[in-house]
Amino acid sequence: MNVRSPVEDCAYAKLRRLTRCVAHHFDAELAPAGLRATQHGVLTEVLRLQPVRPGKLAQALGIDPSTLTRNLKPLLAARWLELGAGTDARSRTVRITAIGRDKQAEAQLRLRVAQRAMNEKLGARRMADLRALMDESLEVLAMPP
């Protein structure tokens, strides 16, 4: 008799495992660019929203401000992002630098390669089904702003 453990049936555990597999796949392709997928996401959002206040950036990324602070540190140290003055003396804004734009563009090309490889591994039909299921699930489970 093949009995499944509670962990095997736990949605959280399965989704975390799948997320780690997907993150590893994309991170492996981004590694030669010196980035992780999460860092690419930050660069992309800053490029889209800049100049952007850290609080608004955290909200756009769906992460808490302390996580954003940790994620910004290596990007600021690499000079791919910079902090600037905000609208008043207490506020700051985040902007992407020229080398940050180059890094984001390089990463974008690598992500396309990773996405094609993922599509080949899983197949077009499975990817379409997975995207639809993720979109529906995100809509149903959406966290309030």
| Per-residue pLDDT tens over the stretch 36-88 | 999 999 999 999 999 999 999 999 998 999 999 999 999 999 999 999 987 88
CB 105 within 8 A of CB 111: no
What are the counts of helices (DSSP H) followed by strands (DSSP E) for the chain? 7, 2
Residue 3's pLDDT is what? 62
- For the chain, the domains span 6-130
Residue 114's pLDDT is what? 95
CB 63 within 8 A of CB 55: no
CB 87 within 8 A of CB 51: no
Residue 7's pLDDT is what? 61
84-120 pLDDT, tens per residue? 987 887 889 999 999 999 999 999 999 999 999 999 9
Instruction: Considering only CA atoms, give the Rg of the chain.
Output: 18
Fold of 6-130: Arc Repressor Mutant, subunit A (1.10.10)
